[in-house]
Structure formats: structure tokens, C-alpha cells
Amino acid sequence: MTLKRRLYRGRDVRRAQNITELRAMAAARLPNFCLEYLEGGADDELTLHRNRASYDAIAFTPRTLVDVSVRDPGCTLFGQRIEMPAVIAPTGFNGLLAHEGDLALAHAARDAGIPMCQSMVSTVALERVAETGVRHWMQIYPFKDRENLAGIVRRAEAAGSEAIVVTTDVPMLGNREWDRRNYRAPMKLDVANLINVALRPKWWWDVLVPHGMPHFRNLGDILPPGQDDARNAATFLSRQMDPSLNWQDVQWLRELWPRKLILKGIVRPDDALRARALGVDALVITNHGGRQLDSCVAPIEVLPEIRAAVGPDMTLIVDSGLRRGGDFVKARALGADAAMSGRATLYGLAAGGRAGVAHALAILRAEIDRTLGLLGCPALTDLGPDWVSGAGATRGV
């Protein structure tokens, strides 16, 4: 008898072999509306699928007869060593996946020796996350209320945050239809989803009981009084997105913030050059994980063009679509200093809290290390474009 292939869906995160298996475990634990929020993309989800397909289209060109008995998957980022070329990406509403999920992400990132970028719409105060000792970056949305935005920037400075990461690709929210289908009215679940929630007691005992609906702990001065929980704040926050955001706002933030300033949402070489001219320290090349503009280019496709435009000295981080350690190696070979992981680590969080995030990062690090060995490349820092072939490797060259 031939056994059918199937993914492990139990509770022991240590049994997960890869990120896909952690996703299956997360799907078994989360209510449908949480999983849909985590996974969904904009419109027809063409960008979402392109992100993965672009990595799949890149092939390695390994060398042979190379001594790879000692390997180093680490590198430096802003002059400090990280143990693998990864940063935990900023993601909001993480308290809906696990209680105080942002703290779990921070502890796991610290232990793995990589930075964490905390979302402005996270559900744990930035001061508490920074206190974990992780290399803390703070992401901000340039909301219309600039005075209160400046207050968050000053809080990050006081907390010792290494960088401010400005999200530039959300002048308005993308059209995430599959996410919206779960609700009969804004933030009011339909009957089918309410029943689905009732069938996930482990989730609601962790997330809702006795803590109640998670709150936005970094937005108290922006939200109306008593409206800082995830249910009540969503509509208000969508109205705070500022379609007038422009390069003058970047200049304002550069003058306000004394440390590393990172722009997140760049996919064009001309925008990258303008950012460099304004004194921006680094760019995150991203299409927001396929959640904003559909039919957008994949970041890994345009990475070589942007690297060629800005030169070797500007820090570039690529985001969107990474699921395997080999994807991080491909990104590094094509010119990225590091890559951000959003969904991959959130699957670990949803599957098993802090232990799940730690296991997700351990999986990625082991895959990076193994990929380097099989490539015949002992050190991550030795990688270059000649180690890969395919669409992503040749675009713009």
C-alpha cells in the first residue's frame, strides 16, 4: 500500500519540516478570518502569485569540488553582524494570531541574531518590544496626523530603536476581496465565520480570554478615546492613510529622525536614486506582499536594476514571497544585503507562539546553510550574480 503524502497538522511545531508545514499547522489553529487576513492579496492576487513564481524561476549554478566543511550564513547589516541575511518584516494585528505576538517575534529574532521591524499597527507597545534586546526597527505609516506621528518617532528614539522604516506604498488600502468576504459589515463577521471561530477554542482562549480583543498600543494619541481595539480602530485607521504623501514628507522625517532611515515600498530605480539623494540609508524593495497593487512587478525581478542604479554602498533589503532559505540566498546573490520575512515567521507564530517563530527561523537558517554547502559557496558574502540563472537574474542586465 502506498501512503498518500500529507502535511503534519498536529501541535508539536518541532515536527514541522518546512514553512509550508508550519502554515498547515497555523491553518488548523486559526479561525478562517485570521488566516485570510494573513494570506490574502489584492484583487485577483496576481502580484501575490508572481512573488512566488519569480523565485521559482531563478535557478542556481553550483560549483563543485569546493571545501564546504565550514560554512558561514551570516553577514553584516549597518555594520553589525547578523547570523543570517534575514529581518522579521513589520506586520500588523499580530495579537490576533497569538497573545502578544509581537513579543514572541522579538524574542525569537533576538535569539536568532537578526533584527525585527515592528509595525506601527502592532498590538504591543514599542517600548516593550525594544526592551527585549532585539535590534529594534520601528515601521510607521505616514498618517494624516503628522503631530502624533512625530510623537511615535520620538518614542522610538527614546526606546533606542535602530531605524525608522517608512511604508510608502499605502496611500490607500489595497482591495483585498477575500478578506472582506468574511464580514457582513466592517469588522462584523458573518454567521459562517462566527461559527468557525466557535470551533477554534484554543485560539480564542489564547487571544480573547481573558485578555479581550487586542489593542493598538502605539496609536493611543491618534485613535478616538476608547477606540483602540482591533475591531473599532480598523475603519478609522483606513481613513488616516494619506494619499498626499510625497518626497517632502521623506525630507521632514529625515530631519526629524537622527538614526537609520529606511523607505519601504520602492520598486523603481528612479525612486531609489531620489531616496538616496535625500539621505535615506536603506530601501526595502517590496510590493507589500501582493496586498496593495495587483499586477505589480515582483521585488526580486527589479532588484538587479535597483542595485545597478544605486551602486554597492546603499543598503538594499528585498521583501515579498520568500518561503525557503534558498530564496534568501537568491536575493543575496542578486544584490540584496538581506531579505525580510513576513508570512513565513507569522505561520510559525500562529502555529506555536514564540516556539513556532523560533522554529521557523531555525528552518530558514538550516536551509540557507544547506543551500550554501550544496552551491559550493562556503560564505554567504561570496555570493554574486554568477551563482544564479533565470528571469530574476537577467532582468535589467
- The pLDDT of residue 217 is 86
DSSP code for 226: T
In the set 107, 136, 288, 359, the catalytic residue is 288
- The pLDDT of residue 80 is 97
* pLDDT tens digits, one per residue of 125-179: 999 999 999 999 999 998 888 888 899 999 999 999 999 999 999 988 899 999 9
- Per residue in 24-61, is it b (16+ CB within 10 Å) or e — as a string? bbbbbbbbbbbbbbbbbbbbebbbbebbbebbebbebe
- The pLDDT of residue 393 is 56
Domains along the chain with CATH numbers: 24-176+239-394 (3.20.20.70)
Q: Identify whether 288 is a catalytic site residue.
A: yes
Q: State the SS3 of 11-34.
A: CCHHHCCCHHHHHHHHHHHCCHHH
- The pLDDT of residue 394 is 46
Asked whether residue 332 carries a pLDDT value surpassing 80, the answer given is: yes
* pLDDT tens digits, one per residue of 243-272: 888 999 999 999 999 999 999 999 999 999
- The pLDDT of residue 63 is 97
Neighbours of 376 (CB within 10 A): 17
